[in-house]
Every structure is written in structure tokens, then in C-alpha cells.
Structure 1
Amino acid sequence: MYDITSSIVTYNTKIDELQKAIESFLNTDLNVQLYISDNSPTDDLKEFINKFNDKRINYTFNDRNGGYGWGHNQIIKKVMGKSNYHLILNPDIYFKNGVLEELFSYMEKNRDTGNIMPMVKYPNGEIQYLCKRIPSPKDLFLRKFCPIKWIIERNNLKYEMRETGYNQIMNVPILSGCFMFIRTEVFENVGLFDERYFMYMEDFDLSRRIHEKYKTIFYPKVEITHAHAKESFKNKKMAKIHLKAAIKYFNKWGWLFDKKRRTTA
């Protein structure tokens, strides 16, 4: 039984970023296993992975791009029953030694916690506000289309829970998919990623399903660095994918009427 397994889904990923993510995860004395789930058109990444010559890394070429959640699901199915915890990890994440140990220790002591996320910062040290209340259509519309900055910021104050100061341990309905440290048995109780989402919103969907049965904890005592964020704000193609995902999300959970949204407001 592994202490922690992890999956990184790649698609034409930058090698230098991926290397930092791999080295960060493997920099531990815990019993870990890392799975690279490659959605790229070719298996060129395999040669790079082989250079590590580390039995703790397993490379899988998927031979198609089934999406972010689909790529992770290919690995989660393999590790269920074989690890205590599974880490959903973005390839543009890196962190110092001790982060995994701290999160592992917290989860061991708090058996009612299903998912935990540390403090996430940009490379320049600024906080990424990745704790969220359950979104309404208004929350996502304002962030994407509103041209008035102060209106967006006023809405984000509540939606992104900024009023909390991000300086305390909190049970949060929606945690980012860039780093999801999940108790592996949780997948047996709430299911895997919903593969109807190709990219975006699949983390919201999974996070709220976990939150319904377990605590989903923001833990600011340790931090990680996330090199990229909000790609859909910069790229029109990604913006369209994000919009389609949002429509699927609200079709599933409700546009005007979402009981859970009202109870967590």
C-alpha cells in the first residue's frame, strides 16, 4: 500500500515545468508512486520520463486526448485500493520538501477530511484565491465578461472567500483542481471525475461532491507555487471550452435553483 499516489495529466507540456513538478512530488521519504497520464498526440514525453530512471514514476501514453478529468480517471482506476491518498497534480506546480508530509499528517489525524489544498501562490509570491463558494451563473459571467473591474472585485470578495483573509484552516465547498490531495477511499463513495467536462469545471463538480460527504479543507500552513492560472482569460479557444463546461455544470447542478448554493452562501 502506497502512502500517496499522484497523477499528472500532460498535453504537449513544457518539459522544464513538468520536471519541477515531478521533482517536487518525489522529494519525500513517504512511500509514493507518480503516474504521468499523457494525452499528447505522440509519446515523445516517454524518452524524457525514462531519463529519470526512477521506479516511482509510471508513464502511460493514452493515444488520445479525452480531457483533463478523463486523463486522471485512467490512473485513479488503477490506484484505488492501492494507496491511502491520491494527489491530483497540475504539471505547472512545484513545492518544497515537507509539504506532502504536513498534508499527510493532517489527513491521518482528521479522518473526516476527504480533500485538502494548501496555500497556492504565484511565482511572485502573491496569493491565488482558489477557495470558492458554490458558483452561480452570475459569478462566472462577471469574471468572464464584465468590463468594470470594481464590480468583479466586489463580487470576488465573497465568491473567492477573500474576506476570510486566507490565513485560517477552512472547510471550503470548492477547492481548485490544480492540487487535490484526496483520501483514495473517497472515490469509491463519490465517484471519479465527470468525463462530460473536457476541461474546466470538472474540479468544481468533484469538489462539491466530496464536500457533501466529507470536509474539504483549505490548509494555509504550507504553500505551493502555481506557475499558470486563468488561461481561459487569455486564450479565446480556452475561453470557449470554459464556457461550454460552465453550461454543462449549470445544466447538471441548476441555473437558478441550486439548494447547495443557497446553504453555503
Structure 2
Amino acid sequence: MNQQIPSLSAAVVLYHSSLEQLEALVASLDKSAQSIGAELPLYLVDQSQSAIYSAAVREMTRKVVTGGSLQLHYIARESNDGYGAGHNTVLDKMLGDYHLMLNPDVELSEDALVQVLKSLRDHPDVTIMAPRGANELGDEEHLAKRYPSVLVLLLRALGLPFLSRCFSQRLASYELRDLSDEGDLQDVPLLSGCFMAARSDALRAVGGFNERFFMYFEDYDLCMRLASIGRVVRDPNVRIIHHGGGAARKGFRHIGWFMSGGIRFFRTWGWRWV
């Protein structure tokens, strides 16, 4: 690879994740990696503790990756210690200059990695970056956020349409809906963790994710710590599709993880009630 082009790696944490969505992610990542003309190590961190699921993932990825741009590394963990702990597993591996942390339910545009490399190369003060996202229907997913309040998080956890309508302005402010859909990098307080591109040295400098967060708010906590050493930004020129999101739609267990993660976040960084 041309030494002037910075290197890139990626990791996906799995826990009985949809194979159909994972296949779409890997296929899009493979195609986008071909656009940068470089090999990209992809770490699949499987926390399912299931031999059947593990075999299915390995078989599917072998069939999907045909372009030779992805180097697959499969890591089977003996326990499920949460999203952040799964991603931290690869911090001592051979990462690129920049490292992607991905959910298994996203798809990349073909030029996404070209733009990621350009933005991070041109802005060495950026520590972590998120893209512009949309759901499968094309509706905007607001992946950058303002610092949350307890009220806003309760509204999102409950997911009740009539309450969301009553507090629409507060929710819009939290979701930074005033951000432009195009243009240069946008400095933001927080990023959602379905797709985050970080400088590997910055990620290691802060110790990766705080593993006290099992699921939810580990991404916000990471952004708060990375903001102390550089910029946290959204790049509207990087595009993804996100098929997941919304703790309220996933049942009471996810709502419980969401609430406990929120409490831990506020205890760490300060309470804001309304």
C-alpha cells in the first residue's frame, strides 16, 4: 500500500446478531474497502458463546468476502461482557492508523471509507468521527447528539408517540436536527456508536471503552474522554444506513440496560434534569 495513505482497520461485536444484516454490512464494507485500494483488517468479535452461530458467521463471511480487500479475523469470546468490552478486545491487535467501530446492523456507501480516510488525514486534531445516517426507509438518523437530560432520556426510553410530540422541540435539540446535511466537518458533543471512526492512538490513549457500561452510553462516555484530547465531529459526507436503534422497540431488557447506562453516565459526567 502507498505509505502516504493511512491505514484503516475495523471491528464488529456480535451477539446472536442477524446474519442477514451482518452479511449486508460485510458486503458493503468489502466494496468500500476496494475503493481505497488497500487491505482492511476486519475483526469479528463473537460474544454469542454458540458453536452453531459461530460456524454460521464464518461460513457466511467466507462466501461474501470475494474482493480480497478484507482480512477477516474471527475472535470468539468466552463471555458476553458488553459492547464496549467486546470492542476493547482488539485494542492490542494490529490496528490501522484509524479504526472503525461498527454495529452489525449498518451498511456503508461505496465511497464511505474514501471519505473517512480523507477527513481524518486532513484534520489531525479529530479524535473520533461519525457519519450521516439514514434508516432503511431513507429517513434521517441523527447520530450526533447534544448532552442529554434525564427528561429527554426518559422520553426516548418510553418511546411513546404522544409524549414525543409534546416534547418535540427538546428532542430535536438533543438530536441536533439543526445540523446541515452537507458541508465540512461539524463539531458535536456526542456520537452514537453504530459507526465511529477513531484515531487508534487516541483510542488507546484513553483506554478504549469504559467496560462498566454494558450496553448504551458507552459511546457517549468514550466521546467525553476523547474530547479532552481532540475534536469530536460528524462528517455529513460519509453516508451509512442503520437498521437498528431505539431501545424502546427492543423490549424491557434493553430499556433496563438503557436506563442503567444513563444513570452511570450522569453519575460520571454530571446530572442534567430537563
Q: Which residue of 2 aligns with 1:155?
A: 170
Structural mapping, 1:81-96, within 5 Å:
82-96=95-109
Counterpart AA for 2:171:
N
Task: Count residues with an aligned counterpart.
Answer: 255
Question: Is the 1:37–1:61 Cα contact (8 Å) retained in structure 2?
Answer: yes
- CA RMSD after TM alignment: 2.1
Moved more, 139-148 or 201-210: 139-148
SS in 2 for 1:75: coil
Q: Which residue of 2 aligns with 1:77?
A: 92
Counterpart AA for 2:122:
K
Q: Structure 1: how far apart are the matches of 2:54 and 2:165?
A: 47
Q: Which residue of 1 aligns with 2:127?
A: 114
SS in 2 for 1:162: coil
Alignment counterpart, residue 180 of structure 1, candidates 189, 196, 200: 196
Q: Give the 3 Å change call, closer, same or farther, for CA 144–202 of structure 1 in structure 2.
A: same
SS in 1 for 2:93: helix
1:138 aligns with 2:151: yes
TM-score, with normalisation over the residues of structure 2?
Answer: 0.86
Alignment counterpart, residue 23 of structure 1, candidates 6, 24, 27: 27
SS in 1 for 2:145: coil
Q: CA deviation at 1:231?
A: 3.1
SS in 2 for 1:64: coil
Counterpart AA for 1:4:
L
Q: CA deviation at 1:97?
A: 1.7
Q: CA deviation at 1:229?
A: 1.4
Q: Structure 2: how far apart are the matches of 1:163 and 1:49?
A: 39
Alignment counterpart, residue 227 of structure 1, candidates 232, 235, 243: 243
Q: Structure 1: how far apart are the matches of 2:55 and 2:215?
A: 27
1:9 aligns with 2:17: no
Q: Structure 2: how far apart are the matches of 1:211 and 1:56?
A: 31
Structural mapping, 1:206-221, within 5 Å:
206-221=222-237
Q: Structure 1: how far apart are the matches of 2:272 and 2:173?
A: 18
Q: CA deviation at 1:49?
A: 4.1
Question: Is the 2:19–2:57 Cα contact (8 Å) retained in structure 1?
Answer: no
Q: Which residue of 2 aligns with 1:33?
A: 41
Q: Structure 1: how far apart are the matches of 2:233 and 2:83?
A: 23
Q: Structure 2: how far apart are the matches of 1:157 and 1:15?
A: 33
Q: Structure 1: how far apart are the matches of 2:130 and 2:150?
A: 25
Gap regions ≥5 residues in structure 1: 258-265
Q: Give the 3 Å change call, closer, same or farther, for CA 140–231 of structure 1 in structure 2.
A: closer
Counterpart AA for 2:175:
E
Q: CA deviation at 1:155?
A: 0.5
Query: Cα deviations across residues 29-78 of structure 1 (Å, max 9, x unaligned)?
Result: 22310001011031323323443176710111102111110111111232
TM-score, with normalisation over the residues of structure 1?
Answer: 0.89
